[in-house]
Chains A and B, each alone.
Chain A
Amino acid sequence: MTTMNKPDFAGATCPTPHQAKETVLLGHGSGGTLSRELVEQVFLPELGEAAPRTLDDAAIIETAEQGQRLALSTDSHVVEPLFFPGGDIGHLAVCGTVNDLAMMGARPLALTCGFILEEGLPFATLRQVLASMRAAAEEAGIYFAAGDTKVVQRGSADKMFINTSGLGVVDQGVQISGANARPGDVIIVSGTLGDHGITVLATREGLGFETDLASDAAPLNHLVQAMLAAGTIHVLRDPTRGGLATSLVEISEQSQVTLLIEEDKLPVKPAVRAACEMLGFDPLFIANEGKLVAFVPPEDAEAVLATMRQTKYGEDATIIGRVLEAGKAQVQLQTAIGGTRLLDMLPGELLPRIC
């Protein structure tokens, strides 16, 4: 051991931050707190009166006829790589917008699609993506009502970006919103968490996990219609970027309620759990593309759960928690060993641990 002088701790401080963000950062697209800041501090003030009225997955538009409403949603898709186990950008683009409509309880009718293509993109790649979009549209039971294509110079886009907008109809009596969670509601997820995010990460980064993991991307509109037939649904959300944790925090804030989630009830595949342990990630923050979380009044929970389990995309559905009380927006996690902690949104990008 080296002989040491006493270190001088007097006036020990930490550096000044740069609080103001002057440019868009990658983390602004993470779906977490930075994304919310972007919407609340830039988009909404700048758009003023023209801004969206709610920040749910889709907008509900009243029509002249009593009881009948339209749902409208739009989403852009940028994914690297374009193809990954279990899906590709086209499949994702259709499922993402179908699901945004479905999460308001809407029956999707039609989609529009806009393409931004990079000069030099092989037709074979484009055809493969379009075939995949067609298959997803047929499964969801919708059609493409309009489309648009722009081509940009090589280097101005990464191969292919797709925007999809969707129009749907909400049936009379269906009232679903992130603001509708009530004390006593049972919280259900439709299947295992993190499959999509870990699949894309492992493919993109070439991490070489030897697993049969595949993306879970899927259109959930038929599952939602089956659920609506089985009972009342207060809240639906597909926990995409930011994962289940971010969705739950958003819902607790929209509804001003405290949620309690039980860690040992969370369905996570061993391969996803292992990858997360290795990288220092939490499956609760990993993106899903074919899963939903539902808040259901206790008297309807068993019927809804049983119905979900009879469907293709809900066979692993399980109850993970409940709404405790109103008045305080908070998500508590009861850990598997009996402790409790808070769940918060992802602050920015998901970053692997150092050691």
Chain B
Amino acid sequence: MKHLDEYRDPAQVKTLLRKIEELVSQHWVIMEICGGQTHSFLRHGLNALLPPQIELVHGPGCPVCVTPLEQIDKAIAIASRPEVIFTSYGDMLRVPGSSTDLFSVRAKGSDVRVVYSPLEAVQLAEAHPDKEVVFFAIGFETTAPANAMAVLLAQRKGITNFSIITAQVRVPPAMEAILQAESCRVQGFLAAGHVCAVMGFHEYLPLAEKYQVPIMVTGFEPVDLLQGLYATIRQLEGGQALVENQYQRTVSQQGNTAAQQSIQQAFRAVDRKWRGIGTIPQSGWGLRSELAAFDAELKFEVQGLLTQESPLCIAGEILQGLKKTVECPAFGKECTPQNPLGAPMVSSEGACAAYYRYHR
């Protein structure tokens, strides 16, 4: 396929691997922020081909993994109501809440549907005026514009039986949280290319300067990842801490301003809890007050939920790059994709699922 094969070219991969090997002189810890990048490293078997001095750690960039348990429990409670058609991207349906998941809720009779876009949920609301259609708006900056458009469209059309559960998160505050932690080992970042396609990378400039850490905007194919790694290591070896853009075919410094405008119209930055990590200030998108009628949490007043955490799962440490998936005592034993203890083992972008699938 054009535009894809050239980024999976074995000859280029070999050349880049050799260049990285020649360049690296010491041990470096580099975090790929996005779960899509983690999967790509493992799916293509790239991690095993890298020189041993390069330690890759996996970041919090999986939208399913970081959605807090409370939000999932709220979603399950709302989805269980008889008047509700609950819609979500597929991955979210398998994630365990405190006592059940959305697939199980559907099996017991609730109307839970997989959609490919939040606009489909708006169409459902139009088609079923006697029902309340709720969309589970999870994700990073990549999904936020579409979620914003869905709410704005519903408002414009005067649709009153549509609402969303917002669980949207922002990458830069999470990166800063990781860098601020005393236990932080991360020396360089591969920033998520598709997040930057929407938001640009101007937000990363002060981070790189303040924490003296190279940040490389990177794509998802083997050649992208190796080019990103090479440039990051070149900076680290040369004592630099710059923001550079490997993913120039998609990303500009200012990003997609039209998409950013939609986000700004519908949402405002709010403090947000990250599953397994904790609350990170200003790290989420919440609905603007004038759109409160579309906030499912307010509409359904879900209260009195008791969330319960497991002592076995170390997902929080994994999402911060403090521990590796295979260092978890439950990995592949108590915790598998069939019986996940935590979200990183569930999601198609979760680091634990990636290791379980490709590299056990």
Which residues of A line the B interface, CB within 8 A? 1-2, 4-9, 12-19, 21-27, 33-34, 37, 205, 207, 270, 273-274, 277, 280, 333-342, 344, 347-349, 351-355
- Which residues of the partner chain B approach A14 to less than 8 Å between Cβ atoms? 275-276, 309-310, 313-316, 341-344
Partner of A355, one of B106, B183, B194: B194
Instruction: Say if the beta carbon of B255 comes within 8 Å of chain A.
Output: no
Shortest A64–chain B CB gap in Å is 44
Partner of B310, one of A13, A34, A277, A349: A13
Shortest A265–chain B CB gap in Å is 14
Shortest A205–chain B CB gap in Å is 7
C-alpha gap A346/B222 in the complex (Å): 24
Among B23-31, B137-145, B157-165, B292-300, the one that faces the other chain is B137-145
Which residues of B line the A interface, CB within 8 A? 1, 4, 8, 10, 13-14, 36, 42-49, 63-64, 69, 72, 89-94, 96-101, 103-104, 106-108, 114, 116, 138-140, 142-143, 172-173, 176-177, 180-181, 183, 194, 203, 206-207, 210, 222, 269, 275-282, 307-311, 313-317, 320, 335-344, 348-349, 356-360
Shortest A42–chain B CB gap in Å is 14
C-alpha gap A334/B97 in the complex (Å): 37
- Which residues of the partner chain B approach A7 to less than 8 Å between Cβ atoms? 177, 180-181, 277-281
C-alpha gap A141/B203 in the complex (Å): 68
C-alpha gap A17/B330 in the complex (Å): 13
- Which residues of the partner chain A approach B269 to less than 8 Å between Cβ atoms? 2
Please report whether the interface of chain A is mostly helix, strand, loop or mixed according to DSSP: loop
> For residue B89, which residue of chain A has the nearest CB?
A354
Known: A1-B172, A337-B44. A15 touches B307 (CB 8 A): yes
Asked if A342 contacts B114 (CB within 8 A), the reply is no
Known: A351-B90, A353-B349. A17 touches B96 (CB 8 A): yes
Interface centre among A8, A16, A270 (most CB of B within 10 A): A16
Interface centre among A9, A25, A336, A354 (most CB of B within 10 A): A354
Shortest A9–chain B CB gap in Å is 6
- Which residues of the partner chain B approach A335 to less than 8 Å between Cβ atoms? 43-45
> For residue B61, which residue of chain A has the nearest CB?
A355
Asked if A15 contacts B90 (CB within 8 A), the reply is no
Known: A2-B269, A13-B311, A18-B99. A353 touches B348 (CB 8 A): yes
Shortest A350–chain B CB gap in Å is 8
- Which residues of the partner chain B approach A1 to less than 8 Å between Cβ atoms? 172, 176, 203, 206-207, 210
Partner of B101, one of A18, A33, A337, A354: A18
- Which residues of the partner chain A approach B177 to less than 8 Å between Cβ atoms? 4, 7
Asked if A17 contacts B339 (CB within 8 A), the reply is yes
- Which residues of the partner chain A approach B14 to less than 8 Å between Cβ atoms? 338
Asked if A17 contacts B360 (CB within 8 A), the reply is no
Asked if A2 contacts B316 (CB within 8 A), the reply is no
Asked if A12 contacts B276 (CB within 8 A), the reply is yes
Extra inter-chain contacts (6) besides given A337-B222, A352-B89, CB under 8 Å: A9-B277, A14-B344, A25-B104, A280-B348, A341-B43, A344-B357
- Which residues of the partner chain B approach A205 to less than 8 Å between Cβ atoms? 116
Partner of B94, one of A9, A336, A340, A348: A348
Asked if A338 contacts B206 (CB within 8 A), the reply is no
